[in-house]
Amino acid sequence: MFLAAAAAAVLAAIRLLAAAVGSAYSPYPHLHLPIAHGDRAVLLALALGLAAGLVLTLTRRDRRRLRLKLGDEGSVVMDLAAAQTLLCDELGRHPDVLRTRPEVAATGARLRAQVWVAARPLVAADQMQRHLTQTTRESLGRATGLPVDDVRLQVKVVAARRLRRYL
C-alpha cells in the first residue's frame, strides 16, 4: 500500500515539475491506462481505497501502547508489556505468591487488568485476593497516572504435592 502511494506521489511530482518548467510532458500516457470512462472510474475508486487505507494505517491507534500525557511538557508512550512486567514484579514481592500472569488492556484513558496468581499452600485465598487487587490498582495507577477501572484477579492456591512445579 505504501509503495502504491509512493508511486502515485512520484508520478504527480513528475507532472507538476514538468508543468512548472513549461513542458507538456506527462508520465501517464506511458502507463497505458484505459481510456473508457467506466475503467477510469474503477481505477479512481481503487486509488481512493488505497488512499483511505493509507490514512487509516497511519492514524490507527495501537492498543498495545499507551500514551501518557505529562501536562504541558508533552507525552510519553508506554508499552503495555512494560506495565505487565511492572505488575508482575510488584505482585511477585508478596511472600506467598509463586507465579503471576497479568494482562493489562487500555480502553481510552482507563485501564483494565486481568491477573492470574499461583499462591503457596494453606494461604487464605480471599484475603490474598483482596490485598493483591488493591496492590494491582495502586501500582498501575502510580505507574501510569490513569484510573484502573476493572481488576479481575484469580488466586489459585497450589496443593502441597504440586508445589515443585511452581518453584
- Provide the residue type at 67 as one letter: R
Q: What is the per-residue pLDDT for 107?
A: 78
The 10 Å Cβ neighbour count of residue 94 is: 17
Q: Is the dihedral of CA 116, 117, 121, 127 positive or negative?
A: negative
Q: What is the per-residue pLDDT for 37?
A: 74
Helices and strands in the chain: count of H runs, count of E runs: 5, 5
Q: What is the per-residue pLDDT for 74?
A: 79
Q: What is the per-residue pLDDT for 49?
A: 87
Quick one: cell of 13?
511530482
Question: For the stretch 116-133, what's the b/e string if a residue is b when 16 or more beta carbons lie within 10 angstroms of its beta carbon?
Answer: ebbbbeebeeeebbebbb
Q: What is the per-residue pLDDT for 75?
A: 77
Question: For the stretch 49-74, what's the b/e string if a residue is b when 16 or more beta carbons lie within 10 angstroms of its beta carbon?
Answer: eeeeebeeeeeeeeeeebeeeeeeee
The 10 Å Cβ neighbour count of residue 136 is: 25
Instruction: Confirm or reject CATH 3.30.70.1350 for domain 65-166, answering yes or no.
Output: yes
Could you give the CA distance from residue 106 to residue 62 in angstroms, rounded to a whole number? 10
Q: What is the per-residue pLDDT for 71?
A: 73
Q: Return per-residue pLDDT of the chain as tens, 167 residues.
A: 567 767 777 888 888 898 999 998 888 788 777 667 787 778 778 878 888 887 887 777 656 777 777 777 777 778 888 889 999 999 999 999 999 999 998 877 788 999 999 999 989 999 999 999 999 999 988 888 888 889 999 999 998 888 888 77
User: Would you list the domain boundaries of the chain?
Assistant: 2-59, 65-166
Q: What is the per-residue pLDDT for 1?
A: 59
Q: What is the per-residue pLDDT for 115?
A: 95
Return phi, psi of residue 100, to 5°: -135, 150
Q: What is the per-residue pLDDT for 95?
A: 93
Return phi, psi of residue 61, to 5°: -85, 135
Could you give the CA distance from residue 132 to residue 102 in angstroms, rounded to a whole number? 12
Q: What is the per-residue pLDDT for 62?
A: 59
